[in-house]
Amino acid sequence: MKDTKYRKRLGEWGETQVDIWLEKHQWIPIQKNLKLKRGEIDRIYSSNKEGKDNHLCFAEIKTNTITSYKTLFEIFSEIGIKKYIKSHQIRNLRYFSENLFLRYQAKIYIRIFIILKIKFKFNKSCLLNLNSSIKICFICDEFIILSIEPEFTNLNIKKNILEVLI
């Protein structure tokens, strides 16, 4: 029970960190933890920038604690990404955003954010030269915000559930 409460609090903390970071970049959360028949979408953001009417971002937010360089670098591999992201969550984001796009003709972005709470002393510069498709959005001594943009190049998601772009 304690582990479940901790993970829930950790997840809420991570969602708050993404909200704060995106608000600094003029995106405001308009829907939190939207329940769907097929699951949930963590956040829907709207662009607050002038001239950006009907710009929405659907976000799945994953938070975890990292205790070593090994687990940190594992995230930057396909295996590490698959640990965090379930194919049904990607399908939910895609399905909901496609339906909303058809209905409202909004410009829609899909993002997956991974928030890593750092529990060891690490050198931030070790992440600067990584050759990875994962974008480092924010980095400080306590946590890192990573962003992934899923591209659906094939309707048969079983073959390759995620291709990543920066």
Using alpha carbons only, what angle is made at residue 85 by residues 136 and 152, rounded to the nearest 5 degrees? 85
Q: Choose among 65, 16, 79: nearest CA to 42.
A: 16
Rounded to whole angstroms, the Cα distance separating 56 from 106 reads: 7
Task: At 152, list the tokens.
Answer: 């659906």
pTM summary value: 0.79
Long-range contacts of 150-154 (CB under 8 A, 24+ apart): 150/90, 150/93, 150/94, 150/110, 150/112, 152/90, 152/94
- Reading the chain (166 residues) residue by residue, the pLDDT tens digits are 568 899 999 999 999 999 999 999 989 999 999 887 777 889 999 886 665 566 888 898 999 998 888 888 787 777 777 777 777 777 777 777 777 666 666 677 888 899 999 998 888 777 776 666 788 899 998 999 998 866 532 333 333 333 333 2
Domain ranges of the chain: 2-165
The domain 2-165 is placed in CATH, from the list 3.40.1350.10, 3.90.105.10, 3.40.718.10, 3.30.9.90, at 3.40.1350.10
Q: Give 116's strand partners.
A: 64, 144
